[in-house]
Amino acid sequence: MGVSYVVRVGPYIELSNLSVDSKKDIMACLNKSCPEITKPASGKFCANCGDKLSHAELTKKNKLRSSQILEDYIKDFKFYDHDAGDGSYYFYSRERMYEMDFGEVANITPDGIKEDLIKFTRDFKDTITRLEEVFGENHVTVSYGIVTIVC
């Protein structure tokens, strides 16, 4: 069995610190002195303090999968996705990244980087805007760099 290393150089979209809230209606004890407060419970009364259970809304933070973001929000399959595992996600264009072979040298210049970023931002403006609307501008960054993947 072998390992495949892929190195790509170019512009990409980074989404950082993402999670989505899911809300669920539950029955729970709302007695502030009860250690079971707001924990999901069944029945009519709290097993710990005896107070009547009430309806409550439980909010849970869920981590997203990069493939879910690609399918649900980017909706443009000209992108590869990479989940960094720390709440950051990277999306890079299949057409805009330079795939490098082992030992290959890339001629990367400041002017070339600037030009690539301008083209990338222009070509994927709708995608970038949609991500900013959904996740907030402070979570969406367009950058230029090296993305490595081990398969």
Q: Which residues of 107-146 are buried (b: 16+ CB within 10 A; e: fewer)?
A: eeeeeeeeebbeebeeebeebbebbeebbeeebbeeebee
Same structural domain, 139 and 107: yes
Token digits of residue 122: 């222009």
Low-confidence ranges of the chain (pLDDT < 70): 1, 3-6, 18-20, 62, 64-66, 75-78, 80, 82-83, 85-87, 94-106, 149-151
What does the mean pLDDT of the chain come to?
78
pLDDT score for 41: 85
Domain range for residue 48?
21-61
Answer whether 144's CB lies under 8 Å from 110's CB. no
Same structural domain, 49 and 69: no
Same structural domain, 80 and 120: yes
Same structural domain, 54 and 97: no
Same structural domain, 82 and 117: yes
Same structural domain, 52 and 76: no
pTM: 0.61
Domain tally for the chain? 2
Same structural domain, 57 and 130: no
pLDDT score for 142: 92
pLDDT score for 112: 85
Beta bridge partners of 59: 23
